């Protein structure tokens, strides 16, 4: 394949473009979800974002057992036995022939697109942005597709569109250096204060994530700290005071946003063939969320709100 001759021809893999979003930064936004994440949060509700390559989602309850997938699969991943469809992904070569013939149950998750194709779609929403809205890159970890992300952000700025990046922060600082000139606001995850627990629940410790956070702050980047609250994992006094400590140390922080746990993504694990997540946790009600916010506020004068 020849290399792209302009930044607008750079390709990336995305799994969704969501329009009219009101929770992914200021105003009304178009959120582009980039595929692939280098870490694994035990509570993640976007398992379809994990793999950097396109993959298959399978919704068992929508399968009508027509057998069309069996006929086209070159490596025999699909069978129908005793009236039940069995999808064994072990040998799947991701040719997506089965998706093309399936009337109802199979879906390709992920799409290779150019920067220009995404910007063209975003441009259609420009009328809704007014002063505050714009494009948000999310994922997955959008900064893991660094060149694509730079192309999108730079292109948006050239179109006079404001930019947000939602990031877990687990990428080399050289990526932040590349995107910094084109990002108006970072929505930066802060998941766990205890580095050992961070490794236990995400697969990596929080050293790099915190280093990057303080370095982008030092460079003048605007930041909203996004803190998921997962009962039994990080709803502790130690973490609440830790959030406040980080917030108090940042020079360019706008506010802290609390993101209460939910279980909307649980079904998706089975549809992606990953099995159900091991971690079981409750969903905090609005009173418990307010209590968490009050506990953080004991240690800081920074604004702390539910996202």
Residues that bind ligand SF4 (CB under 6 A): 37, 39-41, 44, 46, 49, 56, 63-69, 72-75, 77-78, 85, 92-98, 101-106, 139-141, 168
Smallest gap from Cβ 5 to ligand SF4, in A, equals 31
Residue (189 or 217) nearer to ligand SF4, CB: 189
From the CB of 210, what's the least distance to ligand SF4, in Å? 15
For the record, the structure tokens of 95 come out as 């040719």
Q: Which is nearer to ligand SF4, 4 or 273 (CB)?
A: 273
Residue number, 64 or 290, with CB nearest to ligand SF4: 64
Instruction: For the CB of residue 201, give the shortest distance to ligand SF4 in the complex, in Å.
Output: 9
Convert the chain into a string of H (helix), E (strand) and C (coil): CCCCCCHHHCEEEEEEEEEEECCCCCCCEEEEEECCCCCCCCCCCCHHHCCCCCEEEECHHHCCCCCHHHHHCCCCCEEEECCEEEECCCCCCCCCHHHHHCCCCEEEECEEEEHHHHHHHHHCCHHHHCCCCEEEEECCCHHHCHHHHHHHHHHHHHCCCEEEEEECCCCCHHHHHHHHHHCCEEEEECCCCCHHHHHHHHCCCCHHHHHHHHHHHHCCCCEEEEEEECCCCCCCHHHHHHHHHHHHHCCCEEEEEEEECCCCCHHHHHHCCCCCCCCCCCCCCHHHHHHHHHHHHCCCCCCEEEC
User: Do 165 and 179 meet the contact criterion of CB atoms below 8 Å apart?
Assistant: yes
Nearer to ligand SF4, 168 or 260 (CB): 168
Closer CB to ligand SF4, residue 43 or residue 129? 43
Q: For residues 64 and 291, which CB has a smaller minimum distance to ligand SF4 in the complex?
A: 64
Minimum distance of ligand SF4 from residue 250's CB (angstroms): 20
The nearest distance, CB 3 to ligand SF4, in angstroms, is 27
Nearest approach, Cβ of 171 to ligand SF4 (angstroms)? 11
- For residues 161 and 187, which CB has a smaller minimum distance to ligand SF4 in the complex? 187
């Amino acid at each position: 394949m020849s290399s792209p001759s302009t930044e607008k021809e750079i390709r990336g893999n995305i799994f969704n473009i969501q329009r009219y979003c009101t929770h992914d930064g200021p105003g009304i936004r178009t959120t582009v979800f980039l595929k692939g994440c280098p870490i694994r949060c035990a509570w993640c509700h976007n398992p379809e974002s994990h793999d950097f390559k396109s993959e298959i989602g399978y919704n068992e309850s929508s399968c009508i057992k027509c057998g069309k997938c069996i006929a086209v699969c070159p490596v025999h991943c699909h069978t129908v036995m005793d009236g039940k469809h069995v999808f064994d992904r072990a040998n799947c070569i991701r040719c997506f022939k089965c998706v093309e013939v399936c009337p109802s149950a199979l879906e390709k998750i992920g799409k290779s697109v150019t920067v220009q194709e995404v910007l063209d779609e975003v441009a259609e929403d420009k009328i809704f942005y007014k002063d505050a809205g714009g494009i948000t890159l999310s994922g997955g970890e959008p900064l893991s597709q660094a060149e694509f992300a730079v192309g999108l952000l730079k292109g948006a700025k050239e179109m006079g569109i404001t930019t947000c990046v939602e990031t877990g922060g687990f990428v080399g600082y050289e990526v932040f250096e590349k995107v910094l000139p084109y990002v108006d606001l970072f929505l930066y995850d802060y998941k766990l204060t205890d580095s050992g627990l961070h490794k236990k629940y995400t697969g990596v410790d929080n050293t790099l994530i915190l280093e990057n956070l303080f370095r982008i702050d030092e460079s003048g980047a605007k930041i909203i700290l996004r803190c998921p609250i997962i009962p039994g994992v990080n709803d502790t006094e130690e973490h609440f005071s830790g959030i406040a400590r980080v917030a108090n140390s940042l020079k360019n922080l706008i506010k802290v946003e609390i993101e209460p746990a939910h279980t909307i993504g649980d079904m998706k694990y089975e549809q992606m063939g990953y099995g159900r997540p091991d971690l079981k946790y409750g969903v905090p009600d609005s009173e418990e969320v307010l209590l968490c916010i009050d506990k953080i506020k004991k240690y800081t004068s920074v604004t702390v709100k539910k996202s």
